[in-house]
Amino acid sequence: MLPWNVHPPARFTGPAFFMAVAFLLAASILPPAACAAPLSDHQATLSALSDVQAAIAEIVGADQSYSTDKKVYYRASQRAINALEGTRGPEYVAAAGSAGDAAGAIGHIDSLLDRKETPVWAPVLDSAEANIRAAIAHLADARHAHELMDYDIAVSRALTYLLVARGGPADIGAFGGLEGVLANTVLGVPDGATIADGCAEPTAAPSYGVHGGYLAWVAVPAGEGTHQLAESAGEQSVIIRNGMILLPTAAAPLVAKECNSHAQVRPSSPSQATATATLSQPAKTTASGADSAPPALYTKAQAEAGAQVFASKCALCHGANLQGTAAPSVAGTDFLSTAQHNGWTLEVIRYLVFNDMPFNAPASLSSTEYADVLAFLLASNCYPAGDKPFPTADDPGFANVKLGPVPGSHPGKNQFGVCPDG
Amino acid sequence: MTLREQLKAGVASLAPVALGLSAFICLGAGTALAQSTPSPSDFLNAASDPANWILPAKSYFGNHYTPATQITPENVTGLHLAWKTTLDDAGPMENSPIVYDGTMYVTTAHDHVYALDAATGKVKWEFTYSPHVIAFAANRGIGLMDGNVYIGTLDGHLIALNAETGQKVWDKVTVEDTANSFYTMAPVPYYPPGGGQGVLLLGVSNGDWGGNGKITAFNPTDGSVVWSWTSIPGPGEPNHDSWGGDSWKRAGGSMWGGVTIDTATQTMYLNVGNPTPDFLATVRPGDNLYTDSMVALDISGAQPKLKWYHQFIPHDTHDWDPPMQPILFNGKVGNTEEELVATGDKAGNFWLLNAATGDLVDHTAVSFQKGQDTPPSLTGNYACPNTLGGVEYQGGSYDPATNAVLLPSQNECGFWTADKDAVYVAGQFYIAGAFPKLVGPNTGQMNAIDVSTGVFEWRHHFDLPNYGGALATASGLVFSGNLGGTENAFDTQTGNILWSYDTGAYIQAPTEAYEVNGQEYIVVASGAAGNAAIPELPAAGQQSIVSTFTLK
C-alpha cells in the first residue's frame, strides 16, 4: 500500500505557482468566445477575471510608458473601462477599443448573478461587481484629469478596487474576489471535468471534489515531469497518494465541517508493512486461525442491515471502512491476526459488542441491531453467509469458534482484507 | 508611488504564501542546526524560557505557564491565525507540541511524527507509522534529547529518530506484554542535576487491560532499562496487604499522565491510575494501593524510593483516577508561602497537597458529583461524573499573580453496569462491566481556584466539555480549548473571554506558547472527537490540525 505522504509542494513548483491562477484557470482560458452560445459558469467567471486583469494591465502599462502625451493615459483609462463595462455600459466608448471582450467583466458577472437561486459564490461576485463599479467611477475621473498628478490619484484608487475585485491570497491563506471563487467554489470546475463528492477522497485524477457549491480539492495525476497545478490557495499541504497529487483548497476545512464524516472515508491505520513484530503473520493455512471451513453463521440480509447499523453507530470510532480511527480496526488483517494471536473466540467478540459497544453508549442498541452488526463484522472478515441468522441470544457454541484469518484469497477493498461483500 | 509599485504592493499580500513556498524548496539542501536538541541546563531552566517549549507541560514543574508577555489582555483581540497545518492521519489529537529553536515536533493519533517550521507550519520531515491499536488511538507527544526525537508507540515500541532528518536511529519493543500494553505518554528527558547519564521517563498504558502500572527510565542511547518502578506493591512489600487475595496480579495503576520533578531535591511526583477490574471491585478487597494516589519518589539513587503517597480514592469503583500531571509550585495558603503540589481527578475533585509531606491542604469539588458511594451493579445505576468527566489529563496552571490554579473540569454523568465476574481476555478491556453510557447534558467549566482558600475566584461555564487544559501567561491571560473546537483566551483576573477562534475540529489537546524570531505564538492541536464523542457535539471536520496564532 502506498504510504500517505504529505509532500512539500516544492517538487512541483514552476512558474505555475507564481501565477495567481494556474491549471484550473490557465489550462482552460480559451480565446474569447465569438459564438452566440452562452458561456458556461466557469467560462463566464474566467472571462470576467481576464477582463479585470486586462484592465489592470492596461492602466499599469500606460503608467510604465512614461509618456508625456495625455492622450495615452486617457485612452488607457477608456480601454480599461470598456474591458470592465462591456459594450453595453454607459461609459463605453467604442473608438478607444477594449482591453477585454465585448461582454466586459460586469456583463459576465451579471450573467452569472442573473438567476433565481443564490449559489455560495453569489456574495463574492456581488462584491467583485461593486468594486469594479467603484473602479470605473475613478477611471471615468481619470479620463478627464487635467494634470498627470490628478490622473495618477484617480487611477491609483481605481487600481485598489480592481485588486480587490480580482482577489488574491491573503496572509491567512484565503482568496477573495474572482480568483477566490475560482479557487474555492464550483465556478473553478472546467466544463466536462470529472466532478467527485468533495466529502470523499478522489479515486481518479484529474478530478474536482465538490460539496455544497464549494470546491474542496483538486486531484491531478502524479508521475514524472512537471505538472500544472492549481494554486494551492494558501493551504499548506500538497498530498500525494495512490498516484495522485491532491490539493485541498482554502474551502477544504469548511467543506470538511459540512461533511463531518470526511476523515472517516480515509483508510488509515493497519498495514502489514509495519505490523508489530510480535504478532504472528496471518496463517495461510488454518492451523490456529479460523476453521478450515469457517461456519456460516449469519444471513446475507442480516449483514446488509448490519452495514447500516455500523455506519450510524460504530463508524465514528472504527472508521467507515472498519480500519480504525480512534479505536481499533474491526476487520482485515490487523484485526484477524490480533484475534488469532490473543485467542479470541466469537463469544469474546459477541460479548464485547453486545455489552460494551458503542463504547460511549454500551448496550444501547436492540438485540436485533447487535445481531445484524455482528453479521456485518463476520461478512467483512470474509466469513461466509448461510441460511441460519445470527442469533439475538447467546449461543454457547460461539466459545468454540476461533477467530482468525479465513483461508483463501480475499482481495477485498482498501487492501486491508476487508471482504468485498462486507 | 507609481502604479506599478502600487500593483506590487498589492501583490505583497501574496508574499507570505509565495515566500513560504520558495523557502520550502531550499529545505532539501538541509540547514544543519548548531544544536538540534536542548542541553541539560535548557531543561533545568525550561520554566523561564519564553521561546522554547521543551517539556510536555513547559517545565518539570508541570505548570503550563509562560513568561512570554507579548500577547496581553489589551491586545489579544488582535490575535489571528498565523498558520494552520493539516496532518495526514485520522484520529483524536492529544499531543503537546515540543518547540525548540524554531522547530515544532507534533504527533498524530497513529504515532506519526512531524517536524514543522514553527514560524510557518511547513513540514520539515515526517515519520509515518501504522501500529496495531489495542484500544485508543492517541499519542501525547515526543521527547527531545541527545540529538534525537523519541516516541513511545501504540504497539509498545520506543523509537529514536534523528531530530534533524526524521531518520530512524533505533527501534525497540520495550513493553513486556504487547497484547495489553502500549504507550501514549510523551517520553520525558531527564538529566540528573549533578551530571551523569540522562534518561527518558516513560509510563506504560496497560491499566485498563489487565496489566500493572510501571514507570521506566530508559537509556536514550539504546532503550535499555536504567530503572523501573511498579505502582502495585508485590508480596513482602509495604502495603501489599491493601489487595485481597491474588487481586494484585492484574491490578491496574498505570502511570501515563506525565511526570513532575522537583529538580532541587530530585523528587518525582506521579499520579497513579485506577485499579482493575474497574467496575467489579468486590474481586479486589482493600484500599488497592497505590492506585488513585499521588506518589512522591526520591529518584536520586539507583532505584526510586517512595517518600510518601496520598491516596485520593481508596478502593475506587468507577475508574476515577487522577490523570492530570501534578503542578508543583510555591503558593500562599493563608499568609504563609508553602511548596504545594496540585492535581485533579475524574471524580471531579481538585486536590492541594503539601509537597514535602503529601498532607492534604485543601480539596475543592469542581464537577457535579452524584451516586459516588454506590458501586456499579449488574442492572446498572447512575453516578457523576462519568469516566470522561471531572478533571482530565490536559493539566492546568498556577498563576503567581493571582495565587490561583487555573483548571478545566467537566460535568458528565453516566449509567454504569458491572459484570457477574471478571474474566481476563488478552487484548481486551479488563473492566468487568461496561464503560458508562452517557446520560444528561455534557458540559464543561474553566475554573480559577484561590489557593489560599480553595474557593473559586471565577468559573466560566460552557455548553460543551472543556478538555483543553489551561495555559496561563505572565501577561494575565489564560488559554484553553473547548471540545467543540473553539480556542478561548480568558482574562486571568476576571474570567471574561477576551478572544475566541474556531479551529474547525475538536480540541482535546493542551495549549502552549512559544517564540520564533522574537515573535510570540500560541499553538493548539485539534482533530476527531474519538472516544470523547458526545451527542451534542456540533458537526466539524475530523482532520488532524495544528493551529497557531500570533499578533500582526
Average pLDDT over residues B212-233: 97
Task: Read off the pLDDT of residues B159-206 as tens digits, 9 standing for 90 and up.
Answer: 999 999 999 999 999 999 999 999 999 999 999 988 888 999 999 999
What is B357-397 written as a DSSP string? T--EEEEEE-S--BSTTS--BSS-EEEBS-TT-BS-TT--E
Inside any domain, residue B540: no
CB contact under 8 A, A362 and B417: yes
Q: What is the pLDDT of residue B8?
A: 59
Q: What is the pLDDT of residue A170?
A: 61
Q: Does A334 contact B at CB distance below 8 Å?
A: yes
Which DSSP helix (H) or strand (E) runs through A340? helix A333-342
Give, in degrees to the nearest 5, the angle at Cα A245 between B105 and A248: 65
Task: Read off the pLDDT of residues A240-255 as tens digits, 9 standing for 90 and up.
Answer: 777 788 888 878 877 8
Q: Testing the interface with A: which of B132, B280, B378 to mutate, by most A Cβ within 10 A? A: B132
Helix A367-380 vs helix A346-356: angle between axes, to the nearest 10 degrees? 140
Q: What is the pLDDT of residue B376?
A: 96
User: CA-to-CA distance for A409 and B194, rounded, in angstroms?
Assistant: 61
Q: Which three cell numbers stand for residue A100?
A: 477585454
Residue of chain A whose alpha carbon sits nearest to that of B413: A360
Q: What is the pLDDT of residue A414?
A: 41
Task: Read off the pLDDT of residues B297-339 as tens digits, 9 standing for 90 and up.
Answer: 999 999 999 999 999 999 999 999 999 999 999 999 988 999 9
Dmax (CA) for chain A in angstroms is 100
Size of interface A-B (CB pairs under 8 A): 230
- A356-360, B58-62, B223-227: least confident range: A356-360
User: CA-to-CA distance for A257 and A199, rounded, in angstroms?
Assistant: 9
Q: What is the pLDDT of residue A281?
A: 31
Task: Read off the pLDDT of residues A123-177 as tens digits, 9 standing for 90 and up.
Answer: 889 889 999 999 999 999 998 888 878 888 889 889 989 988 998 766 555 578 8
Q: Does A59 contact B at CB distance below 8 Å?
A: yes
Q: What is the pLDDT of residue A291?
A: 61
Residues of A in Cβ contact (< 8 Å) with B430 = none
- Residue among B75, B26, B32, B19 at smallest CA distance from B522: B75
Report the residue from A9, A270, A317 with minimal CB separation from B21.
A9
CB contact under 8 A, A257 and B539: yes
> Exposed, middle or buried, B531 (CB in 10 Å: 0-12/13-18/19+)?
buried
- Residue among B475, B479, B512 at smallest CA distance from B498: B479
Domain span holding position B145: 3-533+545-550
Q: What is the pLDDT of residue A123?
A: 85
Residue B74: beta bridge partners?
none
Tell me how close the Cα of B36 comes to any Cα of chain A, in angstroms. 22
Report the residue from A173, A235, A360 with minimal CB separation from B438.
A360
**Do residues B99 and B53 lie in contact, with contact meaning Cβ atoms separated by under 8 Å?**
yes
User: CA-to-CA distance for A196 and B357, rounded, in angstroms?
Assistant: 64
- Residue among A57, A181, A63, A87 at smallest CA distance from A129: A181
Task: Please count the structural domains in chain B.
Answer: 1
Average pLDDT over residues B112-128: 96
CB contact under 8 A, A168 and B13: yes
Task: List B residues 288-347 in contact with A (Cβ-Cβ < 8 A).
Answer: none
- Residue among B215, B211, B226, B288 at smallest CA distance from B258: B215
User: CA-to-CA distance for A332 and A335, rounded, in angstroms?
Assistant: 6
- Residue among A194, A230, A217 at smallest CA distance from A12: A230
Residues of A in Cβ contact (< 8 Å) with B113 = none
CB contact under 8 A, B429 and A325: no
Report the residue from B3, B17, B126 with minimal CB separation from A169.
B17
Q: Testing the interface with A: which of B6, B17, B546 to mutate, by most A Cβ within 10 A? A: B17
Report the residue from A3, A172, A274 with minimal CB separation from B80.
A172
Task: List A residues 81-140 in contact with B (Cβ-Cβ < 8 A).
Answer: none
Q: Which three cell numbers stand for residue A222?
A: 502524479
ipTM of the modeled complex: 0.82
CATH of residue B301 = 2.140.10.10
Q: Does B509 contact A at CB distance below 8 Å?
A: no
Q: Does A311 contact B at CB distance below 8 Å?
A: no
What is B453-487 written as a DSSP string? TS-EEEEEEESS---S--EEETTSEEEEE-TTSEE
Report the residue from A59, A319, A334 with minimal CB separation from B132.
A334
User: CA-to-CA distance for A377 and A375, rounded, in angstroms?
Assistant: 5
Average pLDDT over residues B530-535: 88
Tell me how close the Cα of B264 comes to any Cα of chain A, in angstroms. 40
Inside any domain, residue B478: yes
Higher pLDDT, A45 or A292: A45
To the nearest 10°, report the CA torsion of A339, A345, A348, A354. 100
| CB hemisphere CA count around A261 (13 angstroms) | 13
Secondary structure tally for chain B: helices H, strands E: 3, 34
Q: Is the dihedral of CA B391, B396, B398, B401 positive or negative?
A: negative
CB contact under 8 A, A60 and B427: no
- A6-15, A243-252, B276-285, B308-317: least confident range: A6-15
Residues of A in Cβ contact (< 8 Å) with B533 = 316-317, 360
- SS3 of B127-184: the string is ECCCCCCCCCCCCCCCEEECCEEEEECCCCEEEEEECCCCCEEEEEECCCCCCCCECC
pTM summary value: 0.70
3 state DSSP class of A182: helix
**Do residues B162 and B118 lie in contact, with contact meaning Cβ atoms separated by under 8 Å?**
no
What's the Rg (C-alpha) of chain B? 23
Average pLDDT over residues B31-56: 86
Tell me how close the Cα of B505 comes to any Cα of chain A, in angstroms. 8
Tell me how close the Cα of B153 comes to any Cα of chain A, in angstroms. 11
Domains of chain A and CATH, by start: 41-184 (no CATH), 190-227+234-276 (no CATH), 300-400 (1.10.760.10)
How do strand B148-152 and strand B157-162 relate by DSSP bridges?
antiparallel
Inside any domain, residue B539: no
- Residue among B492, B500, B451, B461 at smallest CA distance from B475: B492
Q: What is the pLDDT of residue A347?
A: 94
**Do residues B417 and B368 lie in contact, with contact meaning Cβ atoms separated by under 8 Å?**
no
**Do residues B288 and B272 lie in contact, with contact meaning Cβ atoms separated by under 8 Å?**
no
Residue of chain B whose alpha carbon sits nearest to that of A173: B17
Task: Read off the pLDDT of residues A165-201 as tens digits, 9 standing for 90 and up.
Answer: 998 766 555 578 898 888 888 998 888 888 888 888 8
Residues of A in Cβ contact (< 8 Å) with B138 = 326
User: CA-to-CA distance for A377 and B146, rounded, in angstroms?
Assistant: 46
Give, in degrees to the nearest 5, the angle at Cα B501 between B499 and B507: 120
Q: Does B90 contact A at CB distance below 8 Å?
A: yes
Task: Read off the pLDDT of residues A208-223 as tens digits, 9 standing for 90 and up.
Answer: 999 888 888 888 887 6
Q: Does B531 contact A at CB distance below 8 Å?
A: yes
Is the pLDDT reported for residue A84 higher than 70? yes
- A99-113, A328-342, B3-17: least confident range: B3-17
User: CA-to-CA distance for B12 and A24, rounded, in angstroms?
Assistant: 23
User: CA-to-CA distance for A151 and A136, rounded, in angstroms?
Assistant: 13
- A291-300, B157-166, B392-401: least confident range: A291-300
Higher pLDDT, A263 or B183: B183
Q: What is the pLDDT of residue B12?
A: 34
Q: Look up residue B489 and give its amino acid.
A: A
Q: Does B483 contact A at CB distance below 8 Å?
A: no
Tell me how close the Cα of A356 comes to any Cα of chain B, in angstroms. 5
CB contact under 8 A, A236 and B542: no
Beta-carbon contacts of residue A337 (< 8 Å; ≥ 6 apart): A275, A279, A280, A281, A282, A404, A405
